[in-house]
Homo-oligomer: A and B are copies of this chain.
Amino acid sequence: MGKDESIVEPFANLTLPEKEALRKTLREQYARVCEKKLKLNMARGKPGKEQLDLVSGILTVLSEPADCVDEDLDVRNYGNLSGLPSAKRLFAEILDCKPEQCFIGGSASLQLMYDLIAKAYTHGLRHSPRPWSREPQVKWLCPAPGYDRHFGVSRSFGMELITVPMTAEGPDMDLVEELVKDPAVKGMWCVPKYSNPQGIVYSERTIARIAALRPAAPDFALMWDNAYCVHEVYGAYLPFPDIIRLCAQAGNPDMVYEFASTSKITFPGAGISVMACSEENQAYLQGLLKFQIISYDKVNQLRHVRFLRDKAHTIEVMQMHAKVLAPKFSCVTETLKREIGPLGLATWENPKGGYFVSVNTLPGLAKRTLELCAGAGVTMTAAGATYPYGKDPADSNIRIAPSYPALEELEQAMEIFCLCLKLAALEK
């Protein structure tokens, strides 16, 4: 796709015939792109092959029986419900919490989150007056734009989802503090570091206000999905406060459940995960979990302990990922800056970490833009997905996931995306 100097002017300033001429030109470009029958995917936060190859040494860290003994424990056999002590120590160091606060899960933190909520429904949490299935209504706070799979879990249980706008510091806390006065509000989703999709890092002030919440529900669950805890794209590791300690200090020791995984450290969907919470919550939850599982895969836990070693080395591994990811993120933001910036069609975040670039188009353009992208072979997360019920009231937010395509493909995909956004704007 060639440069088109004629469009470096805000669309708002164009006359109707100028717009029509431009639309025709872009439409022709679009037709040529469609003919290429491309297949480009910027839909999900999937690491690319180069990243997977970087960490494939994990495949062989355990090669023979003797490798499988960890502190006198043969990890190839049953036992240790809450996971390997060494895996707990690794996650505790990464999250700056205590090993006793960690439960080591399987290949997906999403499953630990789902499971916690499922247990709240079937059995209740530690301070629940009754299982949530017996509550007339369960409401849930959803900072938005947010992670579609979080909202999906809540919806799947029939919760009423309440949208909380995101600010540059995290969720709008004035609103949150007001909303938690309703005892039907049982919890909130948070991705506190490099939020999905905006890459916003919650400010210290916001985190302090969250930890000090006074929810009317005694079993309010702060779902602290620290998915990107060591996932810097640019620059050095950014230290982040231990929410478990902060909640305890604020008199809310059992309010928070923190989640993390190695899905974007080693292999997505084949790593290990953690749920960290107060020891009292652990005791309560393990009392329920013991009926469900004997332990998650300890062989894979040990693989990760041996491969990642400790926090310092984990951060080194993440810096290798960052070297692959940074040019991709730059490609996205640079293309947006060049192609869209001068036109005033959208704003976007320039995240320092995480897995996404969040774009806000002028109202009413997101759905049509992605429709055009799909037509040209570029798959993106569905418009609206970042909002509760899949409905973005402004039809504006688009989540771009730059990690999966190779850089050349990404460049192509971004050119097409910008073309589609322009076309969508001109169609209006």
Instruction: Across the interface, name the chain B residue whose C-beta is closest to A263.
Output: B78
The answer, among B65, B121, B263, B291, for a CB contact under 8 Å with A122, is B121
Q: Report B-chain residues with C-beta under 8 Å of the C-beta of A107.
A: 106, 296-297
Q: Report B-chain residues with C-beta under 8 Å of the C-beta of A31.
A: none
The answer, among B60, B75, B108, B118, for a CB contact under 8 Å with A294, is B108
Q: How many residues of A contact B (CB 8 A)?
A: 58
- The reply on A250 being an interface residue by CB < 8 A is no
Q: Which of A293-338 contact B (CB under 8 A)?
A: 293-300
Q: Which of A167-222 contact B (CB under 8 A)?
A: none
A114 CA / B122 CA spacing, docked (Å)? 12
Q: Which of A22-59 contact B (CB under 8 A)?
A: 44, 46-47, 49, 52-53, 56, 59
Output the least CB separation between A142 and chain B (Å): 15
Output the least CB separation between A90 and chain B (Å): 18
A74 CA / B121 CA spacing, docked (Å)? 36
One of A233-241, A266-274, A385-393 at the interface: A266-274
Output the least CB separation between A125 and chain B (Å): 15
Known: A133-B133, A292-B110. A268 touches B60 (CB 8 A): no
The answer, among B53, B63, B114, B156, for a CB contact under 8 Å with A59, is B63
Whether A76 and B267, one on each chain, are in contact in the complex, defined by CB atoms closer than 8 angstroms, is yes
- The reply on A127 being an interface residue by CB < 8 A is no
- The reply on A288 being an interface residue by CB < 8 A is yes
A166 CA / B165 CA spacing, docked (Å)? 60
Q: Report B-chain residues with C-beta under 8 Å of the C-beta of A298.
A: 269-270
A293 CA / B270 CA spacing, docked (Å)? 12
Q: Report B-chain residues with C-beta under 8 Å of the C-beta of A123.
A: 156
Q: Report B-chain residues with C-beta under 8 Å of the C-beta of A295.
A: 269
- The reply on A62 being an interface residue by CB < 8 A is yes
- The reply on A111 being an interface residue by CB < 8 A is yes
Instruction: Across the interface, name the chain B residue whose C-beta is closest to A53.
Output: B65
A53 CA / B65 CA spacing, docked (Å)? 6
Q: Report B-chain residues with C-beta under 8 Å of the C-beta of A56.
A: 64-65, 68, 76
- The reply on A10 being an interface residue by CB < 8 A is no
Q: Which of A77-108 contact B (CB under 8 A)?
A: 77-79, 106-108
Residue with the highest number of chain B CB atoms closer than 10 Å, among A52, A65, A76, A110:
A76
Whether A268 and B77, one on each chain, are in contact in the complex, defined by CB atoms closer than 8 angstroms, is yes
Whether B292 and A153, one on each chain, are in contact in the complex, defined by CB atoms closer than 8 angstroms, is yes
Output the least CB separation between A66 and chain B (Å): 10
28 A-B residue pairs with Cβ-Cβ distance under 8 Å, sorted by A, are: A46-B77, A47-B77, A49-B65, A52-B74, A52-B76, A56-B64, A56-B65, A56-B68, A56-B76, A59-B67, A59-B68, A76-B267, A76-B270, A106-B297, A107-B297, A110-B293, A114-B291, A115-B292, A118-B118, A118-B122, A121-B133, A133-B133, A153-B292, A155-B291, A156-B288, A156-B291, A268-B294, A297-B300
Residues of A within 8 A of B (CB): 44, 46-47, 49, 52-53, 56, 59-60, 62-65, 67-68, 74-79, 106-108, 110-111, 114-115, 118, 121-123, 131, 133-134, 149, 152-153, 155-157, 263, 267-270, 288, 290-300
